[in-house]
Structure 1
Amino acid sequence: MIDKIKEHISKVEGFSSDNPSEIEAFRIEYLGKKGFLNQFFAEFKNVPNEEKKDFGQAINTLKNAATEKVTLLKESLEGKQEEKGKYGDLTRPSEPIQIGSRHPISIVKNQIIEIFSNIGFNVSEGPEIEDDWHNFTALNLPEYHPARDMQDTFFIQTDPSDILLRTHTSSVQVRYMEENKPPIRTISPGRVFRNEAISARSHCIFHQVEGLYIDKDVSFADLKQTLLYFTKQLFGKSKIRLRPSYFPFTEPSAEVDIYWGLETETDYRITKGTGWLEIMGCGMVDPNVLKNCGIDPTEYSGFAFGMGIERIAMLLYQIGDIRMFYENDVRFLKQFKSAL
């Protein structure tokens, strides 16, 4: 009988499985009510007295071996199930990674930066929260100047009370002129803020790119040729016109139009039947602005220009509502692909 128990001990020690049903069947076979252990315990009374000690030790060895084997196999099985639940089926193909799209504002901004970078303009940036000097006064807009009413400003009620959200990136140009000596050739892209009603054509938050070129003997002809190069590169249009206008920080000043054409019904609609589209403002830097920034206006001259990125993007992509840029609708954003 002891030899039979030893055979079962060897069988228990050699058993292995990762199948839950087989492990449970093994447990019942040895540790169940009708299992081998209970059968051997039932035979204990029939064993001669001189063999009871060895017989009892053999049964306990079988019991411990069976119990340890079942525990070990179940722990191993639970570990595998936990790993599978955590990581899933590791043999499955991975989920495809969707590549995002750039925002149309970023695409157009990067295109503009690249065009001007090709002719020597660097990029300058500045704070969105500005003071009155850099946003207005240094740009020939002293306190109570009526031209300040052209820009409805978000003032921040702090001490001092002349802190505001910048209304244009011209403030970056002022800071750049204060910190750098001519020749200066820079563009300033960035977000600006104006207290305007939100509609399909206007928003209280928008983006600008403003350019500045300061050097000796800079003329209006240099400005015109720079803008002509830009419109050819961005729009593929080779015909522009400059209409007299007014900006406090440039003199003379002009609005820049490109000839869009009248080839389609859309051309008639967006140009109101004229074929011309306004895209930016520009002019020669006012001598007072140069003086305020520590540059001698008798030695240096320069030109400046500025455009709204949203307006350019709306023209390029034929977007009819500026609010779509800010609603973060994935269906809208997925339409734009660019390497820039």
Structure 2
Amino acid sequence: MSGPNDNYDPKQVAALSADALDATVAQALAAFAAASTTGELKAARLAHTGEKSPVALANREIGALPPAARKDAGQRIGRARGQLNQALAARQAELEASELEAALASEAVDVTLPVALAPEGAIHPITGLMDLMADVFVAMGWEVAEGPEAEAEWLNFDALNIGADHPARGESDTIFLAPAGSHRVLRTHTSPVQIRSMLDREPPLYVVCPGKVYRADEFDATHVPVFHQIEGLAVDKGITMAHLKGTLEHLARSMFGDVTMRFRPNYFPFTEPSAEMDLECFVCHGASVGDPDNPCRTCRSEGWIEWGGCGVVNPRVLRAAGIDADVYSGFAFGMGIERTLMFRNNATDMRDMVEGDVRFSRALKGEAR
């Protein structure tokens, strides 16, 4: 193994000469100054200060010099590298500041503009449709009336001519409230509000009663134990079935457009005569009746869809509310809000209306007033 070359005369390696080193530094400084982005500066840094840069290669040649010449060469290389690092850091700071300023200018946010801080909500379609239907009657001069959901048994049944042995008063249909014998129920329809209105007001009387009702029903696609109804009551002198028909035709056209409606005889204890309101099928318009090749799932090929019940107020109901049935007469009607919503929007499953998914409300937010 050979030792140091102590007898070697001091020599000047070309890359370590002062002139060559000054030229290398000048070239690097020019490259740094010419860089207009941090990306270009990075490329210039690798080219002029990296492992294969002229300064790095010159630093490696120090070992080839005799000991007497290494100190001077090392000092020159150190000064050159310090000068480059200082210039590089200064240029890096300039370019970063310039790029940040440009980014802020191009990506500026107007903080005075309104922003959505929470997801968009929507009025529930049931609530919106109740308001919409009530507005139809308010526009005709009717009054909106409300009542409690926990109702007296007398108001829910007896005052409406529903006898003690009527099937609707059984626990299979009605939810009774504790304690036993309290004669209080969760109202099975909004008709008690009609009785309350007749007890509180003097005729003539025109009220519409939207609200929540309760039945001991199964929870499936077409039944829920808690649903909504809207009922109407008109009490005045000379009220006839013709007034009822005209009122309901106006409501039907307000809800469904140019639709045909019919009355079908039925029985309700609180009206006499009584009828079911049917609407012409929105899908087949009666064309599926008697045509087995083109059945209609909406009306089951019957051509009509049941909407609700109605009739002339039974004189017994008027007398129970303290109204002279010999002077006044009236009509009443009622229909389900969920059923009306299904007709208007082709909804097929009532469970969608109670699951609380905001996407359902957003899809039907047009029902809101």
Same fold (TM over 0.5): yes
Structure 1's 274 and 159: CA in aligned 2 closer, same or farther, altered over 3 A? closer
Query: Match for 1:243 among 248, 259, 264?
Result: 264
- 1:254 pairs with 2:275: yes
Query: Match for 2:335 among 296, 307, 310?
Result: 307
After TM superposition, list the pairs within 5 Å mapping 1:196-275 onto structure 2: 196-261=217-282, 262=284, 268-275=296-303
Q: In 2, are the aligned partners of 1:151 and 1:167 still within 8 Å (CA)?
A: no
Q: In 2, are the aligned partners of 1:174 and 1:293 still within 8 Å (CA)?
A: yes
After TM superposition, list the pairs within 5 Å mapping 1:1-340 onto structure 2: 95-97=115-117, 98-146=119-167, 148-149=169-170, 152-158=173-179, 160-261=181-282, 262=284, 268-338=296-366, 340=369
- Deviation, 1:189, is 0.3
What code does the residue aligned with 1:145 have? H
Bigger drift between 284-293 and 324-333 goes to 324-333
Bigger drift between 257-266 and 190-199 goes to 257-266
Unaligned stretches of 5+ residues in structure 2 = 1-108, 289-293
How many angstroms apart in 1 are the aligned matches of 2:229 and 2:157? 17
- Deviation, 1:161, is 2.1
Q: In 1, are the aligned partners of 2:121 and 2:358 still within 8 Å (CA)?
A: no
CA RMSD of aligned residues (A): 2.4
- Deviation, 1:159, is 6.3
What code does the residue aligned with 2:131 have? N
How many angstroms apart in 2 are the aligned matches of 1:92 and 1:235? 44
Structure 1's 228 and 332: CA in aligned 2 closer, same or farther, altered over 3 A? same
The percentage of counterpart residues that share the same residue type is: 43
Q: Deviations over 1:142-188 (max 9, x none)?
A: 32234535971100122652111000000011011001010000000
How many angstroms apart in 2 are the aligned matches of 1:160 and 1:99? 47
Q: In 2, are the aligned partners of 1:251 and 1:285 still within 8 Å (CA)?
A: yes
Q: In 2, are the aligned partners of 1:237 and 1:260 still within 8 Å (CA)?
A: no
- Deviation, 1:223, is 0.6
Q: In 1, are the aligned partners of 2:224 and 2:351 still within 8 Å (CA)?
A: yes
How many angstroms apart in 2 are the aligned matches of 1:328 and 1:196? 20
Structure 1's 93 and 176: CA in aligned 2 closer, same or farther, altered over 3 A? closer
* Structure with bigger gyration radius: 2
- Deviation, 1:258, is 1.2
What code does the residue aligned with 1:277 have? I
- Deviation, 1:119, is 1.4
How many angstroms apart in 1 are the aligned matches of 2:172 and 2:210? 18
What code does the residue aligned with 1:321 have? D
Structure 1's 285 and 96: CA in aligned 2 closer, same or farther, altered over 3 A? same
- Deviation, 1:95, is 4.2
Q: TM-score, normalised by structure 1?
A: 0.69
Q: TM-score, normalised by structure 2?
A: 0.64
- Deviation, 1:317, is 1.0
What code does the residue aligned with 2:217 have? E
Q: In 2, are the aligned partners of 1:131 and 1:163 still within 8 Å (CA)?
A: yes
Q: Give the paired residue count.
A: 252
Q: Deviations over 1:101-132 (max 9, x none)?
A: 11110121111111111212110000000111
Unaligned stretches of 5+ residues in structure 1 = 1-88
